[in-house]
Amino acid sequence: MMQPMLRLLALAAIFTLTSALSAAAQRFELPAVNSGRWFKGNTHSHTINTDGDSPPEVVARWYKGHGFHFLVISDHDTITEPASLQSVVDSGFILVRGEEVTGNFQGAPVHLTAIGLNSIVSPRKTEPTLQATLQANVYAIRAAGGLPIVNHPNYRWALDSVTLARTSGFNLFELFNGHPHVHNDGGGGAPSLEQVWDQLLTSGRRIFGVASEDSHHFKTWGPGFVNPASGWIYVRASKLDPDEITRNLAAGDFYASTGVELQDLVVDAQSITITINPDRDFKYTTEFIGDGGRVLQRVDGLRARYQLGDKLTYVRARVTDSGGRKAWTQPVFVAR
């Protein structure tokens, strides 16, 4: 009678050991930059050179005066040259060259921010399909030496997860855009951009989420206007330099925010630790999210840590304060 029992105990021990070894074998891929300073910036803004209401110098000085370290002026299908705004630039504030490439397919907007490009990109319009139009614009930005960001996919419900998944050559998209008509939160059966993000990540796509302002209006403020101070990013870098900011943005060494500021974000082989910079008496909840958009863990307070244990391909975090403001960290991928 003892032999079957011993056999069961042995099998249970083997199963437990195998599970433990499998969990231990999992590890996070370490980010390219795991130390440095956080630099606050906006990747999407407009001036009177296209459809904004203020001159480039006024726009740049607004951002400089409100604690930003860098700005991309992304006027439509033109480059507002940083060299023309050197009077605004100093050791604490820089401009990064950019353009909003404004394509379309049969009326559906196909807009991308191009960062750090060498020359103006003429938008590709009405290629054979919507996806082909998006792909052609991504390739055109790459050919001009630029870093592409797919802008506001839910604007006019133009770019769904299938279209994004079938398009190569980009790894950045706007998770949040400050324009009041872009449907960040989805609705009517259409997914939010955060849900789209998890769909792409779960399918194996390595993609990072940007928050931007898409600012147009600096003279008139209120509902219906596209004012600044809605969403931005913090890029971690050793110095405030256009090339390093662009490079680290492409590598996913940043987080997106609508007002929550992180003090630190540390990733090691087995854990992610987030420390929040408190603002007045706001309270904070951090959610660690994995495959399929599943919430793996919730932590209240100013410090949250996730220990890798579940069988996952990625983990990202969303921090929400008691006023509804958020910060989103980029996915940390589990080594295969």
Q: For 258-287, what is the mean pLDDT?
A: 97
**Can you give the pLDDT at residue 310?**
80
Of 257, 292, 324, the residue that ends a domain is 257
**Can you give the pLDDT at residue 7?**
52
Q: For 300-325, what is the mean pLDDT?
A: 97
Q: Which residues form the domain of 99? A: 37-257
| Residue among 197, 276, 322, 325 at smallest CA distance from 38 | 276
Question: Mean pLDDT over all residues of the chain?
Answer: 93
Residues 326, 222 share a domain: no
Residue 17 lies in a domain: no
Residue 26 lies in a domain: no
**Can you give the pLDDT at residue 289?**
98
Q: In angstroms, what CA-CA distances link 274 with 104, 116, 209, 286, 314?
A: 40, 30, 18, 9, 16
pLDDT surpassing 60 at residue 17: no
In tens, the pLDDT along 54-73 reads 999 999 999 999 999 999 99
**Can you give the pLDDT at residue 12?**
44
**Can you give the pLDDT at residue 3?**
57
Residue 113 contacts residue 44 (beta carbons within 8 Å): yes
In tens, the pLDDT along 25-36 reads 799 998 876 678
Which pTM does this prediction carry?
0.92
DSSP 179: -
Indicate the pLDDT class of residue 15, thresholds 50, 70 and 90: very low
Residues 232, 325 share a domain: no
The Cα–Cα gap between 211 and 256 comes to 5
Residues 273, 169 share a domain: no
How is residue 107 written in tokens?
């009326």
Q: In angstroms, what CA-CA distances link 214 with 50, 203, 230, 268, 301?
A: 13, 29, 9, 34, 31
Residue 22 lies in a domain: no
| Residue among 145, 74, 160, 144 at smallest CA distance from 112 | 74
Residue 143 contacts residue 123 (beta carbons within 8 Å): no
Length of the chain (residues): 336
Residue 40 contacts residue 96 (beta carbons within 8 Å): no
How is residue 33 written in tokens?
């930059």
In tens, the pLDDT along 191-229 reads 999 999 999 999 999 999 999 999 999 999 999 899 999
**Can you give the pLDDT at residue 14?**
40
The Cα–Cα gap between 50 and 43 comes to 16
Residues 263, 143 share a domain: no
How is residue 311 written in tokens?
């069988």
pLDDT surpassing 80 at residue 333: yes
Residues 106, 154 share a domain: yes
Indicate the pLDDT class of residue 256, thresholds 50, 70 and 90: very high
**Can you give the pLDDT at residue 31?**
81
Residue 5 lies in a domain: no
CATH number at residue 276: 2.60.40.10
pLDDT surpassing 50 at residue 240: yes
DSSP 129: S
Of 257, 289, 318, the residue that ends a domain is 257
Q: For 2-23, what is the mean pLDDT?
A: 45
Residues 299, 249 share a domain: no
The Cα–Cα gap between 40 and 59 comes to 16
Q: How many structural domains are present in the chain?
A: 2
Question: What distance separates the 2 farthest-apart alpha carbons in the chain?
Answer: 89
In tens, the pLDDT along 166-193 reads 999 999 999 999 999 999 999 999 999 9
CB within 8 Å of 74: residues ≥ 6 apart: 43, 44, 45, 46, 98, 99, 100, 113, 114
In tens, the pLDDT along 63-110 reads 999 999 999 999 999 999 999 999 999 999 999 999 999 999 999 999
Residue 173 lies in a domain: yes
**Can you give the pLDDT at residue 36?**
86
CB within 8 Å of 295: residues ≥ 6 apart: 287, 288, 289
Cross-strand bridge partners of residue 100 = 76, 113
